[in-house]
Amino acid sequence: MQFQRRDLSKSVFRMATAACVAGLAWLFMAGPLSGEEYVTRDFTVTRGTETLGVRVFSPPEQRLAKQPWMLLNFATDRQTSLTGAPYNMAVEAFVKAGHRAASFDLPAHGERVDARGSGIDGMCARFLAGEDPFVQFAADGRAVIDALIERGEATADRIVVAGTSRAGYCSLRLAAAEPRVKAVAAFAPVTDWRVLREFAAVRERNDIAELALEHFRQDLAGKSIYIAIGNHDLRVGTDACARFVMKLAEVEGTAEGKSRLQFLIVDDSEGHSLDNRWRDRGSQFLLDATSRR
């Protein structure tokens, strides 16, 4: 990946890479999936004292690719991740291409909400209580991948991951922890929890600083990664995201092999949003990864 280096203290800057400007191949959807285009299967995975619900979308047998890939897609809870627009655009792309998609609830979301709260507040409360939800998510992901392979619905070398915002962070953490994940797309991802208001009261703590994705860059280096974010995203921090990518690019610059990192800072997505064409681009990036074996 090649950058023009600029002053990271500026809140807004643009970064271009050869991959960003070469041959845009948009994947425009004809519409949402119809009931005839996929079948739904649910199963559970038991980890310790918790039972984790998993949902899988698969094309009918006659439309299944000869060597189907598995997309793990995340937003909040599993149903939103698989059917909620625009978070499910990669799901639609994969199922229409003959591949499978699956999801499970993030910690403190969906069926996993408890007395410690829900959403990002719940994640923060769990972390402060000594139960790291991000380590837990990576372990959940490994267990679900194991189960999908055992069930014959996934193959170890044909797995990709996508996530939005908080789930973009989780997806990158899973990719860092799990070598079976071949590619990841993160849409407007959290990269440093100190930026978020839910962590404001504890942002000076060292253990919160250590959650920043730059501390996991060694395990992410060399993977196929797509990241897109608006140029003035104050919710998760465009600057924080750019700093992480620069740190990751520095590691890749000293390693052997070709960088497969695409990073887009876009000027058509206000606040903490992302225009659908950049989600299309990320979906196509993941589909392209299925042919880069």
Residue 275 to residues 177, 187, 266, 267, 268, Cα–Cα distance (Å): 29, 10, 9, 10, 7
Model confidence over 140-181: pLDDT tens digits?
999 999 999 999 999 999 999 999 999 999 999 999 999 999
Confidence of residue 291 (pLDDT cuts 50, 70, 90): confident
Output the pLDDT for position 253: 81
Alpha-helix runs per DSSP H in 22-163:
78-83, 89-96, 119-128, 133-150
Question: What are residue 231's phi and psi, to 5 degrees?
Answer: -80, 0
Q: What is the pLDDT of residue 19?
A: 35
CATH architecture of 18-289: 3-Layer(aba) Sandwich (3.40)
CA proximity to 169, closest of 192, 200, 145: 192
Q: Say how many C-beta atoms besides its own lie within 10 A of residue 81's C-beta.
A: 29
How much of the chain is helix, strand and coil, in % rounded to 5? 40, 20, 40
Which pLDDT score is estimated for 243? 98
Classify residue 113 as exposed, middle or buried by CB count within 10 Å of its CB (0-12, 13-18, 19+).
Answer: middle
In single-letter form, the type of residue at position 70 comes to M
254 phi-psi bin (left φ>0, alpha ψ -120 to 50, beta other):
alpha
Q: Which residue has the higher pLDDT, 6 or 68?
A: 68
The yes-or-no verdict on residue 11 having pLDDT over 90 is: no
Give tens-digit pLDDT for 224-273.
Answer: 999 999 999 999 999 999 999 999 999 988 766 678 999 999 999 999 99
Nearest to 145 by CA among 174, 183, 124, 167: 174
Instruction: List, in sequence order, every residue forming a beta bridge with 46; answer none if it has no partner.
Output: 51
Out of 51-65, 241-255, 273-287, pick the least confident: 241-255
Please state the rounded mean pLDDT for residues 82-96: 97
Partnered with residue 88 across adjacent β-strands are none
Q: What confidence tens digit (pLDDT) does each residue in 176-222 have? A: 999 999 999 999 999 999 999 999 999 999 999 999 999 999 999 99
